[in-house]
Amino acid sequence: MAELDTSGKGGGHKGGKIRSKKASTRIDLTAMVDLAFLLITFFIMTTTLSKPKAMDMFMPDKTKKDVQLPVPETRTMTVWLGANDKIEWFVGAPGKSQPTISNFGKNGIRKDLVEQDKKIQATHAGPDNYMIVLVKPSDHSTYKDFVNMIDEINIAGIKSYGVVDITPAEVAQLKKDGNY
């Protein structure tokens, strides 16, 4: 509330010049501070916190043992996710070719995915000429690496991919290459 302080010394003395009284003002901000805290409390209680961002991922039911269709090894690219943002990949059956070490980015695994997909489409005729990517995360890879790999697959336009458990032989190869 505003108060007027009328105790100023001015005018009213005999024989002197007549001066107007100077009134000083004093503003009481108690009510405004109360209102500010009420508004802050109201907005804190009514706002929603940022919702966590999640990616939809559908995993097959492990209790069902369906018959799987054979897939040619020449159409399959296997990607191992190692430690320290390192990736190893190869096309075909494991052990028949030496894995290539790569990293994330447009000049890394994305370029490899696009090149291998073009090669497979050129060598296979018919409607089933697309590449299948098998992603095998290791125990030392991070969730960020997994999400980045799925993003790279989507950016490269790969039609079919799957997430598969890594085998002990593949972990041994990662250790041998220093990526585990």
User: What total of structural domains would you count in the chain?
Assistant: 2
Identify whether residues 172 and 89 lie together within a single domain.
yes
The answer to whether 152 touches 110, Cβ cutoff 8 Å, is: yes
| 36 shares a domain with 80 | no
Give the range of the structural domain holding residue 124, as residue numbers without chain letter: 73-176
Q: Which one, of 145, 149, 57, 162, lies nearest residue 112 by Cα?
A: 149
How high is the pLDDT of residue 122?
87
Q: Based on the domain organization, do 140 and 100 belong to the same domain? A: yes
Q: Give the 3-state secondary structure of residue 93.
A: coil
d(CA 70, CA 67): 9
pLDDT number for residue 94 = 79
Same domain for 113 and 41, yes or no, is: no
Q: Is residue 64 part of a domain?
A: no
Within a domain: 61 = no
Secondary-structure percent of the chain, ordered helix, strand, coil, rounded to 5: 30, 20, 50
Model pLDDT, residue 56: 72
Burial of residue 140, with CB atoms counted within 10 A of its CB: 0-12 exposed, 13-18 middle, 19 or more buried:
middle
Q: Both 164 and 77 in a single domain?
A: yes
Q: Is residue 171 part of a domain?
A: yes
Per residue of the chain (180 residues), what is the pLDDT tens digit?
A: 555 555 555 555 555 677 777 777 888 888 999 999 999 999 888 887 777 777 676 766 777 776 666 777 888 999 999 988 899 999 988 778 889 999 888 899 999 999 999 988 888 777 778 889 999 999 999 999 999 999 999 999 998 898 888 999 889 988 998 888
Question: What CA–CA distance (Å, rounded) separates 24 from 6?
Answer: 7
Nearest-CA neighbor of 112 among 156, 176, 63?
156
The whole-model pTM stands at 0.62
- The answer on 170 and 111 residing in a single domain is yes
Residues 24 and 95 in one domain: no
**81 and 148 share one domain:** yes
Give the CATH number for residue 137.
3.30.420.270
Question: Is 54 part of any domain?
Answer: no
Within a domain: residue 67? no
34 occurs within a structural domain: yes
Question: Strand locations in 19-131, DSSP E?
Answer: 24-27, 76-81, 87-91, 100-102
Give bridge partners of residue 136 from the DSSP assignment.
Answer: 80
In a domain, 94, yes or no: yes
Same domain, 85 and 36: no
Closest CA to 132 of 178, 101, 171, 163: 163
Residue 90: CA count within 13 A, CB half-sphere: 12
Interatomic CA distance for residues 156 and 79, integer angstroms: 14
Asked if 154 contacts 129 with a C-beta cutoff of 8 angstroms, the reply is no
